[in-house]
Amino acid sequence: MNLPVADRRSAPTERPNSSLGQRPGDAGIRNYQFSVLPFTSGPPYVPGIKTSDLTRYVLLTAMVGCGAFGGWRSLGPGRFWIAGPESGTDTTGQALLGMPDFSTQLGAKLRGVPVNRALLVDGPPFWTTTDVVRLAACLLVPRPVAAFSGCGDALRFRNPAAVLFFRSTPAEASQKLPQPAAEAFGSDSSIVSLKAAP
């Protein structure tokens, strides 16, 4: 049948059809089954579900299951209260329990910092410690500390008690931070430039 385009669009038998997606005007061939997936014929194995749909339900369940697994693994600080610190990566657990050297080093560096309590987060030498610090921040720090250059965290919202700019070289560490940065982070935030841990 050689119909013009507009007519072909409305021709009822032009498009393959199925019970999975009815088109208006296709009622005459409604029972035609089309699927590239298996289980396209035979009796219904699950009451109320067509066999042609069964594979799709199975795949859908797999997708939801895998998505839920990945989502659970991706949850933020809340997971510590639900599943305990061991639910994170091995490194996170070790860092939390063992308190490796970097904490001591940074703690020493921070003693001169004019804030009540301060914590540092991630940064190149400490990629895997973010969760630890988040947890600690949630538990300990009333007005958390934000950030440093490249990658950092503004922990638990609000105006941070201090903004710590982490410099990777002694030369950078000696530089003062521009004054407008203090205004941007909040007038009562301390701005601190820190030297990198070795």
Partner 1 sequence: MIAWAFLALLVLLAGGVGLAATVLPRRDWFAAELAGLAMPFGTLAVSASWFLLSFLLRDAALRWAVTVLCLGLFALGLRRVVSLQIRVCGEIGWALGAIWLVQFAVVTWQSLGCPLASDGLFIWSFRAKLAFLDGGQVAQPYFGMPWQELHPTYPLCYPLVQTWIFSWLGQTHQGAVKLVCPLFFASGVGLLWTAVRRATGNARTAALASTLLFFVPWAMFKPGGAASGWADFPLAVAYLAALTLALESALPTAPDPPPFRTHPLFWSLALLPWTKQEGIVLAGTIVGALALRSWLERCRDWGSVALRLALLTAAPVTVVLLWRWYLAVNGAAPNRDFLPVTMQAFADHYERLAPVGILLCRDLLNVERWGLLWPFALLALWDIQRRHPRESTILALAIFAPLAIYTGSYIFSAWPSVVRHANSSLTRLLIPLAMPALIAIGLALPAGAGGCRNRT
Q: Residues interacting with partner 1, by CB under 8 A?
A: 5-6, 9-10, 15-24, 34-37, 49-50, 52-53, 56-57, 59-60, 62-64, 66-71, 73-78, 122, 134, 146-147, 149-159, 178, 180, 183-186
Task: Compare residues 142 and 158 and give the one whose CB is closer to partner 1.
Answer: 158
CB 118 within 8 A of CB 144: no
Task: Compare residues 66 and 97 and give the one whose CB is closer to partner 1.
Answer: 66
Task: Compare residues 43 and 78 and give the one whose CB is closer to partner 1.
Answer: 78
State the nearest-atom distance from the C-beta of 170 to partner 1, in Å: 19
State the nearest-atom distance from the C-beta of 181 to partner 1, in Å: 9
Tokens describing residue 32: 């035609």
Task: Compare residues 111 and 171 and give the one whose CB is closer to partner 1.
Answer: 171
- Transcribe the chain into DSSP letters: ----HHHHHH-TTSS---TTS--TT-GGGTT----SSS--SSS-SBTTB-HHHHHHHHHHHHHHHHHHHHHHHH--THHHHHH-GGGS-HHHHHHHHH--HHHHHHHHHHTTSSSSS------GGGGGGHHHHHHHHHHH-SS-EE--SSS--BTTSSS-SEEEEEESSHHHHTSPPPHHHHHHH-TT-EEEEEEPP-
State the nearest-atom distance from the C-beta of 69 to partner 1, in Å: 7
State the nearest-atom distance from the C-beta of 129 to partner 1, in Å: 14
State the nearest-atom distance from the C-beta of 158 to partner 1, in Å: 6
Sequence-distant (≥ 6) Cβ neighbours of residue 128 within 8 angstroms? 89, 91, 92, 95
Task: Compare residues 107 and 178 and give the one whose CB is closer to partner 1.
Answer: 178
Looking at this protein, which amino acid is placed at residue 21?
A: G
State the nearest-atom distance from the C-beta of 61 to partner 1, in Å: 10
Task: Compare residues 108 and 142 and give the one whose CB is closer to partner 1.
Answer: 142
